Structure 1
């Protein structure tokens, strides 16, 4: 984890500054600043359009009763792409554009989604990391799934409210079933 934080907070800014200085020497400082602003604006508009497209795919899969797992991973990748495009610099812009382009995003999202499925299945599901809980060995009541139907504990009955004779409320405000409420 330390190595990842070192890369994110030390090496990426150093690389970005080096590239910005080199581009600034070649094109000029104002042109470089203009390019950085341009990539941020264009990137955010592309993230928005790709995000709407991905959201529509999620809704279509949900309407068909399918799990939109890969589309959710693509949505997370679009969020990361938007963040990368907003960070000033050309290296992060390039990474953001790679994550934004459907040509590269869809295969990477498929790979990540398959890895997440393998990790979950090898751990025995989402509950495996929590261990025994207060409600049973699987963390739920009696070891049953909370979605199980008809466990033999369901009672069917009718309900009728009867007035308590010791209730001293003013009955003049209550309507009788036979009374017309407009009267």
Structure 2
């Protein structure tokens, strides 16, 4: 991709997406962390928020990894709307796997 848009532009985009991604991951992560703490204090097991937290952690790693594909996947995992969609797909995938293992 660097040969198409130029080396300096590619480096700038990689650095910019890492900075923006880290900021977004921090904001989303703090929100999830606060919900987890509140649920635990109320005696509720925060399964959904733990999954959200794991997905945000993975998104952060993807956003810090240079590459346009990893950035796209990382940003999709940071936004709550697209994260919910990805969670549904993963749940359907793993439900099928777990069911076939126990049979």
| TM-score bracket relative to the smaller structure | 0.7 to 0.9
Stretches (4+) displaced over 6 A: none
Unaligned runs of 5+ in 1: 1-20, 124-183
TM-score by length of 1: 0.48
Normalising by structure 2, report the TM-score: 0.81
**Contact residue 69 and residue 113 of structure 1 kept, 8 A:** no
2:44 maps to which residue? 66
Larger Rg, first or second structure (1 or 2): 1
Q: After superposition, where does 1:26-65 map in structure 2 within 5 Å?
A: 26-65=4-43
The structure with higher relative contact order (CA 8 Å, sep 6+) is 2
Query: Any stretches of 5+ residues in structure 2 without a counterpart?
Result: none
CA distance in 2, matches of 1:87, 1:35: 12
Structure with the higher fraction of residues in helix conformation: 2
The count of residues paired between Structure 1 and Structure 2 equals 99
What value does the CA root-mean-square deviation take over the aligned residues? 2.4
